[in-house]
Amino acid sequence: MKLLCIAIAVSLSLAGLATADTYKIDPAHTAVSFSIAHLVISEVNGRFNEFAGELTVDPATKTLVTGGTGVIQTKSIDTGIPKRDDHLRSADFFEVEKFPTISFTGSVVAATGAPVFTGQFTMHGVTKTISVPVTVKGPIQDPWGKTRIAFNAKTILNRKDYGLTWNKVLEAGGLMVGEDVTIEIKAEAIKQ
């Protein structure tokens, strides 16, 4: 009897999972950007141009079921200055040959107000559990008959926590490159 109950519970769980809609990130309508302090007085802004990801949505409640997965190609870093981008790809920072991706795998935690993505974030070979508030809009049907959802997630990470420690102390005090990095993802995803 106990085995029968377990089998029924598992099949109900799988049936619920099968009814969830999978959405894949639309790179043409998504931005993965960051900003970091420079010389104490200003900020450098940049983005990653190559990424992929997916998440699932319960079609009945129109809510996120999982925080999904996301992968960013570190070599695609783009600050608009090729020399700086080459330095960021080097062993001083991302070591793109050794650590070609930044990834996130997680779930959605219900919260008062906006949901929160909680999961494993890996950068530069270091994995930590992070929680990121997310704003979700949709789903809607676009003019071409595809169903889309949009989300915005923003957080601040300390790059030293992930082994990105290169820096220089300025003569007047302070650091050449800040330690806290603001990361923001503004994404659209298409139902598969």
The pLDDT of residue 39 is above 80: yes
Does a structural domain hold residue 50? Answer: yes
Residue 178: domain span: 20-191
The pLDDT of residue 56 is above 80: yes
Does a structural domain hold residue 82? Answer: yes
The pLDDT of residue 78 is above 60: yes
Place of tokens 């494993």: 120
Does a structural domain hold residue 10? Answer: no
Output the DSSP codes for 84-151.
HHHHHHSTTTT-TTT--EEEEEEEEE--SSS-EEEEEEEETTEEEEEEEEEEEEEEEE-TTS-EEEEE
Does a structural domain hold residue 116? Answer: yes
Name the band, by pLDDT with cuts 50, 70 and 90, for residue 103.
Answer: very high
Indicate the burial class of 183 (C-beta count within 10 angstroms; 0-12, 13-18, 19 or more). buried
Higher per-residue pLDDT: 148 or 18: 148
Alpha-carbon Rg for the chain in angstroms: 20
pLDDT at 53: 94
CA pair distance 116, 106, nearest whole angstrom: 10
- 116 close to 108: Cβ distance less than 8 angstroms: yes
**Based on the structure, what is the number of domains in the chain?**
1
Does a structural domain hold residue 4? Answer: no
CATH number at residue 59: 2.40.128.110
pLDDT at 136: 85
Does a structural domain hold residue 6? Answer: no
Least confident of 20-24, 106-110, 125-129: 106-110
Give the mean pLDDT of the chain. Answer: 86
pLDDT at 14: 39
Percent of the chain residues topping a pLDDT of 70: 88
Does a structural domain hold residue 62? Answer: yes
The pLDDT of residue 102 is above 60: yes
Q: What is the pTM of this model?
A: 0.84
The pLDDT of residue 15 is above 70: no
pLDDT tens by residue, 118-163: 999 999 999 999 999 888 888 999 999 999 999 999 999 999 999 9
Does a structural domain hold residue 56? Answer: yes
